[in-house]
Amino acid sequence: MIGLTSERLWGLGLLSILSLVGIIVSIASERGSEERANRLYREGALSNAAIIYGSHIQTDSMVARLHYNLGTTLLSLQSPSAPSELASTASSEDEELRSRALYNLGLWSLMQAIETEVTDSVRAHASTVSYTHLRAHETEADLVCRLLLEK
């Protein structure tokens, strides 16, 4: 049988305390992580996801992905702040992120057009959606369509 000396007990106690501290730190870190915000978004806890994305933006406002994630979350919440967050991503160097942001801005315009009862406003918003979507996904074949829409 292994004898438990006071030194060995002290070492085991210290190891237990350090393990517990590590678990607490990792739980606290995960609680505010971007991955958690993404998971909350997928689960439909949009307000909580928006809070986490917003806090990360306050820490690192230059990360376009965070603005896109916040803008998309605010879009789902139908918040009037969604377009400004998405617009800040629309000039991103990341082509895929820029394309998604432009698409979501077009979707926002369409949502606003549907909610508006005046037909001229609907037409104006719908043309913005078409133009934005074409520009986001434009190929040489689409160029002809865009030029026709601009006439």
Predicted confidence at residue 74, as pLDDT, reads: 94
d(CA 71, CA 50): 9
Q: Which residues contact 101 (CB under 8 A, 6 or more apart)?
A: 68, 71, 86, 87, 89, 90, 92
Both tokens of 25, joined, read 């730190």
Residue 5 burial by Cβ neighbours in a 10 Å radius (0-12, 13-18, 19+): exposed
pLDDT tens digits for 73-131? 999 999 999 999 998 888 888 889 988 999 899 888 888 877 776 666 555 555 555 55
Predicted confidence at residue 7, as pLDDT, reads: 76
Q: Is residue 125 within 8 Å of residue 109, measured between CB atoms?
A: yes
- Mean residue pLDDT across the chain: 76
Report the alpha-carbon angle 13-29-27, nearest 5.
Answer: 50
d(CA 31, CA 48): 11
pLDDT tens digits for 22-47? 666 555 554 568 888 999 999 999 99
Predicted confidence at residue 1, as pLDDT, reads: 46
Number of helices and strands in the chain (H, E): 8, 0
